Amino acid sequence: MTRACAETPYTLDVARIIDIGYWISLTAWFAVALAGGLAAAAIFPTARQLPISMEGYEGFLAAEPELGRTLIAGFLAQSVFALTSRAQMILLPVFVIMVLLQNATGIAPSAWRNKLGRLALCVAAGATAISLFWSMPMFDQSLEAYRSAARGGDVPAAMNIKVTLDEYHSYSTMLGTTTLLAILVIVLTSSLSAPFRRKRDGASHAPRFVGVSGR
């Protein structure tokens, strides 16, 4: 039986649903990965310029005003980071499932774009997993120690802990940037894989995963 004959309205509808799930999960993952960086870029520079304070941290603020304001701003940004982390823990597996379902429809891979997109998915998934299960937990642990020292007015101890904190912050920033760029590659290769058009038999030619050929 040829491929054209094997396709039924039911299978085409299922394929369209999978395509929709693919694009929704991909774009949502990209938006969530971008949101944390945008929040940090907006909150921390603004906080350094404001005369903000917080009960329990007056001594640290008096000794290190700029670092103190940044520490307080971290309480605001932390809620955003926690939300985006939880969202990524959901969106990553959902997107992988959509990719597997898309491939299960029997669409054959085509050209180099498929390989590039799969490589980008592996990079994005790996960077996200390392960030969620290693760098961010270690960062949070160091952050709590830093806050405890600052709240107790032990400025030397807080500054020593901040060295470790900055290291994990650098790791998290690098992993977040890697994830974002890898997702962008997936978006671009998926968009270029097939034009938005319809064949004469009515089959959808919406873009599929990184160079996977249309029906």
pLDDT digits over 165-182, tens only?
A: 999 999 999 999 999 999
pLDDT digits over 90-137, tens only?
A: 999 999 999 888 888 755 444 445 788 889 999 999 999 999 999 999
Count of structural domains within the chain: 1
Name the band, by pLDDT with cuts 50, 70 and 90, for residue 206.
very low
Q: Each residue of 177-205: b (16+ CB within 10 Å) or e?
A: ebbbebbebbbebbeebbeeeeeeeebbe
Q: Is residue 2 part of a domain?
A: no
Provide the pLDDT for residue 153: 87
Q: Is residue 160 part of a domain?
A: yes
Provide the pLDDT for residue 161: 94
Residue range of the domain that includes 151: 7-211
Q: Is residue 24 part of a domain?
A: yes
173, 66 Cβ separation under 8 angstroms: no
Q: Is residue 177 part of a domain?
A: yes
What average pLDDT does range 62-73 have in this prediction?
A: 87
Kindly state the percentage of the chain with pLDDT values over 70.
80
Name the band, by pLDDT with cuts 50, 70 and 90, for residue 49.
confident
DSSP E strands in 38-180: the ranges are none
Q: Is residue 1 part of a domain?
A: no
Q: What is the mean pLDDT of the chain?
A: 82
pLDDT digits over 69-90, tens only?
A: 888 888 888 889 999 999 999 9
Q: Is residue 58 part of a domain?
A: yes
Q: Is residue 190 part of a domain?
A: yes
Give strand pairing partners of 109.
Answer: 212
214, 205 Cβ separation under 8 angstroms: yes
Tell which wins on pLDDT, 214 or 155. 155
